[in-house]
Structure 1
Amino acid sequence: MSLIYKHYAHNSSNLYFYDLLGAACGCFIGCVFLNHLKFSSIPIVMGLIAFSTSLIIKIGFKSKLPTKILSVLMISILTPLLYFNQQYGILDHIDKDSGVTNELWSDWNAYSRIGLLEFQDPSSDGKYYKFSLDHGSGYALLKQFNPDVPFQDRLFENFEASALGFLMGRPKKILILFAGAGRDMVEAHSYSQGHADITGIELNPLIIQKAVSLPYFGLNEFFQLPNIHMISAEGRNFIETNNHRYDSIIYSWAGSTINNYFGINSNTSQFLYTQEAFAKLLHRLTPGGTIGIVNGRKLRVLATFKKAFEEFGVFDISPHVVMFVNNTIRDNLFFNSLLSLGNETRILVKKTPFTEKDIQTIQKNLSAMNMHILYAPHISHKNVTKEQKNIEQILMKIMRGAHTEEFMRHVSYQTHLDLSPLSDDKPFIDNSFNVEALFNVEFWNKLKNQYKSIYLNHYFRHFYSIIFILCIIMLGVLLLLYVIFSQRDRIKISRDAPYILLFSTIGLAFIFVEISVLNQFT
């Protein structure tokens, strides 16, 4: 691109316009392909179109043989990839012990591959059903709504994400993010005896469309209730454009936050976990309202909330936070549960400080669900172990410290994990580790000796992304070297190097700006 701009400087504005127009058209066409043709591998299709067109042009203009060979080679590689990528069988990649018996339906859209899976209930002879998202990386449970018995779920019988909104009482207005097929909404409706106004936000419209089309589950009737509002929208966009206030905002189970196509890796929820998003949600709460979060690395979530509260002039958030875990988690696993991306530790944040009465109510309700408080104001644990004392010290440094970001960098260095607070400029919540860790022998030894399969799978997903990016960079370098070699008579490094450096720097700046801007709309 630098060489093109140099030799055609008089058309630079047109070239940049065509560059942006082509990128926009490519994104639009890709979405049309995914939403209407409903198959994966769109990048492969785009590559086939590009290289096939290039080959036709080269034949027509009688270009040199090596360039034709390159196009033919890429077409030969992409064609079988397109075929085999469509032969994906999800049942072959799901643990047989999970009880899955059959995939009844599947479809694609611009967000993910959605499949409807049938499971055998191990506690009975019955069956239950889940939507599988993104090749099994997440699930959305289908829960039946019976109009004749609409309030059949008992509050605090078991822990469910929807219970986060009821720990201090019965909220009147609830917002559920990552609503999936409406399971949490059905439960919250039952817990409130139909008195709560419930809004659910789900990004993928295909889940909602398929869920309401299945008469057995009664969700079409449920979503038509006057106090139930199921909305297909991106969560951050909704909270930015919606002015309603809520007694409870719940971050439900977010199992499929990654959309993976061949060469595309997009985190669909990352802008809901930034300090700007948390600050906006705090504005959307009633004075005594709470935010409950199930997923995510809680130390990082806590540090991000610390930054969000600073917008309100609050620099000590320890009176605003309650953290709790299941009783089955042993003391020596508390810290791992705080670092984990899993669901072991839950967090409840209140806009105003928790009162002693609030904590007593929460503690009573948690006990009914076999859970206990890891941290809360107005409460002191007796016979505290060394592990628990160390954790509390870390939590206090995050919640009360004047230099939270610096402390989180220190903890990140010690754990090899990326625990820095999230912002809209750096929303990458799914980054599991610091880049520095890749060059640390201790990190690789720890990965090899301690991490189990679920963590290895998560790390390998990031390795795949890194390897793909490195391959793209290497391909770009090879193409650049080829151009330099083929045009060696016209190119003078001493003359052209400053131009290449200049345009590379400008291009890098544009990329950073474009990515930040486009991420606000994706």
Structure 2
Amino acid sequence: ANGDGLAFLWPWRETREAPLMHRPTVPALLPGPRRSALVLFAGAGADMMSLRENGYDEVTGVELNPTIVEAGLALDAYRLKDFLALDGVRLAVDDGRAFLERDRKRYDLVLLSWSGATAAYHLGALAGTTEHMFTHEGLSAAFDRLKPDGFALVLQISKVNAIDTLRRYMAARGLPAPERSAIILFRPEGVHAWDGPWEDNPLLFKPSGWSEDEVAAILARATARGYEVAYAPGRPPHPDFTVYERLLTAADPAAEIGRIESETGLRFGAATDDRPFYLDQFLPSRYLSAEFWGAWRTGFRSPAEIYHFMRVAAALAVSAAAFALALAPLLLVRRST
């Protein structure tokens, strides 16, 4: 719905042969049912239905795009209106950050679900409606809505950046043992490479830390659901994802981010409100690299580098044109005299 945006819409049923298991919600159900949940990027309510049918009594959703909600409500056969009329179910059409600033409730689960909004690319600039939700400040606001024993599920964004955010969050609040706060899963058939700007490895973040019994139960259920373990407390990391353990256990997370950037040539670290471009992995130091300027012959590392090259080329072209236009009248005057 609404241009490039999209959302899943499931029909509401009072009874089914089996509870609805909308895929983004599945990792949120691995710790077992809780009572209350907040769903950000709620779309047309698919995650909310799944949580409700799997034991959550109170489910609140927040969706920015009113067209998606209106379109779902207009399809009577899907009975979205009946679902939203249930006690304990609420869908707010609102900006996620604005909602979090006003909301004073605490939740057992905060789910940052799949977002159907695309990013805009133009001459190296990347922007999207979700970007301020995925900054350090945005994620911190979401984590602050958790109950003392609550947890958050973060999907889609780089988990290296998400770990850097949770390290900053825990340090600012004096919370110990970040290495016990995170469980990260992946599906071999999914988008799971850790060094990209976008991947779908579920991060289950519990600020108070996962107990050994909780870890064992979650991993058993995850395996049954087709997930593999990238990182879990007290377990050896998957060999393809040792970077997660490095960053979670580092004495100096900022220095570890620097080492990861040196190894990959990519930009990592928590996005912030003054630089919310969480999809932009371009290191500014590469502007001074001969490799970058020669890439038009040898090939760019990624489409994002092409956009950055175009941005600089466009800026140089405009500057040259402006210089020529400013100089031309002076030359004409000089010739005429």
Q: Distance in 1 between matches of 2:74 and 2:312?
A: 40
2:169 matched to which residue of 1?
Answer: 308
1:277 matched to which residue of 2?
Answer: 138
1:190 matched to which residue of 2?
Answer: 53
Kept in 1, the 8 Å contact 2:154–2:204? The answer is: yes
| Cα separation, partners in 2 of 1:483 and 1:441, compared to 1, 3 Å | closer
Q: How far apart are 1:426 and its partner, in Å?
A: 2.4
Q: How far apart are 1:402 and its partner, in Å?
A: 2.8
Q: 1:402 aligned to 245, 248, 251, which one?
A: 251
Q: 2:282 aligned to 430, 433, 440, which one?
A: 433
**Residue deviations 1:161-195 (CA, integer Å, cap 9, x gap):** 11233222212111111112221112112212xx5
Aligned to 2:278, the other structure's residue is in SS state coil
Q: How far apart are 1:292 and its partner, in Å?
A: 0.5
2:8 matched to which residue of 1?
Answer: 141
**Residue deviations 1:301-345 (CA, integer Å, cap 9, x gap):** 11121111111113641011111122558xxx9xx6222344442
| Cα separation, partners in 2 of 1:242 and 1:440, compared to 1, 3 Å | farther
1:91-490 pair list within 5 angstroms: 114-115=2-3, 132-133=4-5, 139-147=6-14, 149=15, 151=16, 153-154=18-19, 160-192=23-55, 195-259=56-120, 266-314=127-175, 316-326=177-187, 337-380=193-236, 387=239, 391-392=241-242, 394-437=243-286, 439=289, 441=291, 444=295, 459-460=303-304, 463-464=306-307, 467=310, 470-471=313-314, 474-475=317-318, 478-479=321-322, 481-483=324-326, 485-486=328-329
Q: How far apart are 1:470 and its partner, in Å?
A: 4.9
**Residue deviations 1:194-250 (CA, integer Å, cap 9, x gap):** x52111111111111112111122112222223221111111221122111110011
After superposing the two structures, state which structure 1 stretch, 351-360 or 257-266, moved more: 257-266
Kept in 1, the 8 Å contact 2:123–2:307? The answer is: no
Greater relative contact order (Cα < 8 A, sep 6+): 2
Q: How far apart are 1:260 and its partner, in Å?
A: 5.9
Q: Distance in 1 between matches of 2:309 and 2:68?
A: 30
Structure having the higher Rg: 1
Q: Distance in 1 between matches of 2:82 and 2:313?
A: 50
Q: Distance in 2 between matches of 1:274 and 1:264?
A: 17
Q: Distance in 2 between matches of 1:340 and 1:265?
A: 15
After superposing the two structures, state which structure 1 stretch, 421-430 or 253-262, moved more: 253-262
Kept in 2, the 8 Å contact 1:267–1:430? The answer is: no
Kept in 2, the 8 Å contact 1:198–1:227? The answer is: yes
| Cα separation, partners in 2 of 1:244 and 1:218, compared to 1, 3 Å | same
Q: Which has the higher helix share?
A: 1
CA RMSD, Structure 1 to Structure 2 (Å): 3.3
Q: Distance in 1 between matches of 2:59 and 2:274?
A: 31
TM-score, length basis structure 1: 0.56
Q: How far apart are 1:468 and its partner, in Å?
A: 5.1
Kept in 2, the 8 Å contact 1:271–1:424? The answer is: yes
Q: How far apart are 1:279 and its partner, in Å?
A: 2.6
Q: Distance in 1 between matches of 2:96 and 2:44?
A: 15
Aligned to 1:414, the other structure's residue is in SS state helix
Kept in 1, the 8 Å contact 2:197–2:280? The answer is: no
Q: Distance in 2 between matches of 1:183 and 1:437?
A: 42
Amino acid at match of 1:478: A
Q: Distance in 2 between matches of 1:420 and 1:371?
A: 26
Gaps of 5+ in 1: 1-105, 107-113, 116-131, 134-138, 491-522
- Identity of matched residues, %: 20
Amino acid at match of 1:417: L
1:483-522 pair list within 5 angstroms: 483=326, 485-486=328-329
| Cα separation, partners in 2 of 1:315 and 1:423, compared to 1, 3 Å | farther
| Cα separation, partners in 2 of 1:480 and 1:205, compared to 1, 3 Å | farther
Aligned to 1:188, the other structure's residue is in SS state helix
1:13-32 pair list within 5 angstroms: none
Aligned to 2:202, the other structure's residue is in SS state strand
Aligned to 2:193, the other structure's residue is in SS state helix
TM-score, length basis structure 2: 0.84
Aligned to 2:127, the other structure's residue is in SS state strand
Aligned to 1:337, the other structure's residue is in SS state coil
